[in-house]
C-alpha cells in the first residue's frame, strides 16, 4: 500500500464515509464524455457532440446536464444495457491500480461515488468496484414509465453541487478523493482530502493541494 494512503487510512475515524470522484480519480479518462461521443456515433442518442463542447466552454454544469437531457425518452433498461457494454469494452481496463486495494482496506467504511457524469454511465464502474448503487451520486433525471424524462435534478453534482448532494445524503466525508478543480469544494468539505493526479499532469486542484500540504497520490 502506498505510504500516502497508509497514513491517510490511519487517521480515518471508524466507519467514516469515504467519497470518490469518478472520472480521473477511479479510472483514467471521462466515461461520461466518451459514452456520449460513442452513443451519438452509434445513433443511440440523437445529438451533436459539438453542442456539448460549446456548452462546456460556457458552463460545466450546463454541459453535464445536457448530457442527460439528450437521453430523454430512452428506456432506462436500454440505457443501462448500453452503458454496461460500453464500460466493459472501453473502461474496465482503465481502473487505476491503486483503487481495488484501497477499497479492500476501506471495507469497514461506507464508500460513495460523487460524479458529474450521468448516473447511468457511472453505474457499471460502481458495479465493477462493488460500490452499492444507492451510494452513487451522478447527474440524474426522473424516470417515468421506465423512460428517462430528461428533466435534470438540480444542482448538477460538480463544484459546490457535489457538497449539496452530500449534505442531502447527510454525509460528511471522513475522506474525499478527487482529481480536478470541480472537486475542490468536496475535498474542502471533507475532514481529509486526497488528490489523485498523473505524474506528468498538474491543474488548479493539484496547485491548491501543494499550497495547502494536502496529500497527493500519483496514479
CA distance 170 to 118: 22
Mean predicted lDDT score pLDDT of the chain: 97
- Predicted confidence (pLDDT) per residue in 37-60, tens digit: 999 999 999 999 999 999 999 999
CA distance 77 to 84: 11
- Average pLDDT (156-175) is 98
Per domain, the residue ranges of the chain are: 3-218
Q: pLDDT value at position 1?
A: 65
Check: pTM over 0.75? Answer yes or no: yes
CA distance 211 to 214: 8
- 3-218: CATH topology is Rossmann fold (3.40.50)
Residue 169 has pLDDT above 90, yes or no: yes
CA distance 190 to 96: 22
Amino acid at each position: 500500500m502506498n505510504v500516502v494512503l497508509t497514513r491517510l487510512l490511519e487517521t480515518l475515524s471508524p466507519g467514516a464515509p469515504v467519497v470518490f470522484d469518478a472520472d480521473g480519480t477511479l479510472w483514467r479518462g471521462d466515461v461520461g464524455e466518451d459514452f456520449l461521443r460513442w452513443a451519438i456515433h452509434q445513433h443511440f442518442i440523437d445529438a451533436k457532440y459539438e453542442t456539448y463542447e460549446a456548452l462546456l466552454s460556457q458552463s460545466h454544469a450546463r454541459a453535464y446536464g445536457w448530457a442527460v437531457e439528450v437521453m430523454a425518452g430512452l428506456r432506462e433498461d436500454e440505457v443501462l444495457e448500453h452503458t454496461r457494454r460500453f464500460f466493459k469494452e472501453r473502461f474496465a481496463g482503465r481502473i487505476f491500480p491503486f483503487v481495488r486495494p484501497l477499497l479492500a482496506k476501506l471495507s469497514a467504511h461506507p464508500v460513495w461515488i460523487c460524479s458529474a457524469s450521468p448516473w447511468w454511465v457511472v453505474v457499471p464502474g460502481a458495479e465493477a468496484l462493488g460500490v452499492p448503487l444507492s451510494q452513487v451520486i451522478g447527474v440524474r433525471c426522473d424516470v417515468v414509465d421506465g423512460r428517462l424524462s430528461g428533466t435534470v435534478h438540480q444542482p448538477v453534482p460538480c463544484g459546490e453541487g457535489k457538497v449539496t448532494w452530500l449534505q442531502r445524503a447527510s454525509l460528511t466525508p471522513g475522506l474525499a478523493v478527487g482529481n480536478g478543480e470541480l472537486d475542490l469544494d468536496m475535498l474542502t468539505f471533507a475532514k481529509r482530502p486526497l488528490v489523485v493526479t498523473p505524474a506528468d499532469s498538474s491543474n488548479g486542484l493539484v496547485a491548491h493541494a501543494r499550497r495547502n500540504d494536502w496529500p497527493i497520490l500519483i496514479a
